[in-house]
């Protein structure tokens, strides 16, 4: 929780710095709707996915994403605050749901130290992502964005061992890293549609 509060503090501080920028006052007519492709870790589109961004206010966008992740399919909705009519910063929050996988065999270490194939169920899991990014405009309609943030997991230990194996501490730590939540690092390309 402290990390999330620190991250939010950094975002708000950056907003104040961005308001001082002269680029903010150079207005160019931009599209209201964007379709995008994205990739990354704990992003709202997953490892590979598509997104839609729709302008709902002067600087606010409604955001939706759909993609594939290491935890099954990923869907998301959220909001993005963007003061960058030119190149500049963007901020957002997303509610993300990963469907999980009902039946998967993973090569994991068991509590007796042996590595073996373990039959598992990866349960559906949610997270809330807090992110900041930087937009580079390509022409008058398209953007390339790099994103950094933190995703707070809403489910603790969203997996189950189906074959009765007992996992080692190391295997449990690996599953915690793979499960939704943690550092957000991603990039996307968005095509403006008028």
Q: What is the CATH code of the structural domain delimited by 2-20+34-193? A: 2.40.160.20
Residue 180 has pLDDT above 90, yes or no: yes
Summarize pLDDT for 32-83 with one digit per residue, the tens: 899 999 999 999 999 999 999 999 988 899 999 999 998 999 999 999 998 7
pLDDT of the residue at 29:
76
Is the confidence at residue 127, as pLDDT, over 70?
A: yes
Question: Could you tell me the residue ranges of all domains in the chain?
Answer: 2-20+34-193
Question: In this prediction, what percent of the chain has a pLDDT beyond 70?
Answer: 85
Number of residues that this document lists for the chain: 194
């Amino acid at each position: 929780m402290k990390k999330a509060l620190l991250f939010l503090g950094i975002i708000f501080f950056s907003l104040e710095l961005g308001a001082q920028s002269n680029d903010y006052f150079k207005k160019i007519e931009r599209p209201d709707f964007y379709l995008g492709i994205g990739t990354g870790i704990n992003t709202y589109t997953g490892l590979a996915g598509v997104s839609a961004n729709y302008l709902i206010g002067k600087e606010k966008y409604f955001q939706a994403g759909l993609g594939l992740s290491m935890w099954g399919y990923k869907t998301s909705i959220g909001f993005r605050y963007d003061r960058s009519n030119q190149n500049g910063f963007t901020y957002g929050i997303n509610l993300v749901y990963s469907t999980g996988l009902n039946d998967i065999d993973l090569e994991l270490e068991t509590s007796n130290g042996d590595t073996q194939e373990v039959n598992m169920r990866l349960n559906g899991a949610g997270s809330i992502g807090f992110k900041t990014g930087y937009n580079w405009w390509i022409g008058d309609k398209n953007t390339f964005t790099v994103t950094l943030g933190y995703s707070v997991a809403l489910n603790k230990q969203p997996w189950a061992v189906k074959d009765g194996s007992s996992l080692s501490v190391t295997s449990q730590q690996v599953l915690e890293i793979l499960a939704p939540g943690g550092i957000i690092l991603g990039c996307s390309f968005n095509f403006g549609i008028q």
